[in-house]
Chain A
Amino acid sequence: AQSVTQLGSHVSVSEGALVLLRCNYSSSVPPYLFWYVQYPNQGLQLLLKYTSAATLVKGINGFEAEFKKSETSFHLTKPSAHMSDAAEYFCAVTPRGNTGKLIFGQGTTLQVKP
């Protein structure tokens, strides 16, 4: 069975600092991986996705993630945090060819301090 673990339920950074949100997955077959962001009282917005051989994936708002098969990780990074990045971030996994059923992690709340 597939699963996702997000290390750190709460991450706090200063504005302008590096953002690193950790995600490890468990899957018996190469999966598709996603990062979603959720702002308060809103639905989920896709930040980026890994679905191909390109291991470094660039997303919206300056975020990127690197797929590391050997470490079963898909950590999300952004070089310089902005106040508007404060939100809840979810890592998710799905088997290739299985659209619609995402397995989500518990989420990481990102706080950005001025």
Chain B
Amino acid sequence: DAGVTQSPTHLIKTRGQQVTLRCSPKSGHDTVSWYQQALGQGPQFIFQYYEEEERQRGNFPDRFSGHQFPNYSSELNVNALLLGDSALYLCASSSQVIGTGELFFGEGSRLTVL
């Protein structure tokens, strides 16, 4: 049973560029959440997608946007990159049917903005 998979694992961008990160949820899961983890910090909730719609959003600017596809996979897009966007971006999946709040995390995509 494949877990949560993310791509790419590492990438380097320059300020002002745009980036797209991808996530495939664990089999049987229908909800994808994205988190930003800055160095030495706990993960911060960006947003959550369910039924192809953004259901919840954390305190992140509109430069951060996302999408969920019919197969439940998801993308995170960040526009106009800033140095402060450098972080590990974690995707997590869960099931609305099994509502215990447990998340399964991917290995993350490490973004470096120069």
8 A Cβ contacts from A39-58 to B: 41-46, 49, 51
The docked-state distance in angstroms from the alpha carbon of A68 to that of B1 is: 35
Q: How many residues of A contact B (CB 8 A)?
A: 26
Q: For this complex, into which size category does the number of interface residues on chain B fall?
A: 20 to 34
> CB-CB < 8 A to A107: which residues of B?
40-42
Complex Cα spacing A107 to B40, Å? 8
| Stretch of B14-22, B79-87, B98-106 lying at the A interface | B98-106
B1-50 interface with A by 8 A CB criterion: 4, 31, 33, 40-45, 48, 50
Question: Are B99 and A100 touching (Cβ within 8 A)?
Answer: no
A92 contact set on B, CB distance < 8 A: 42
- Tell me the residues in window 5-54 of chain A with beta carbons closer than 8 Å to chain B beta carbons: 32, 34, 36, 41-46, 49, 51
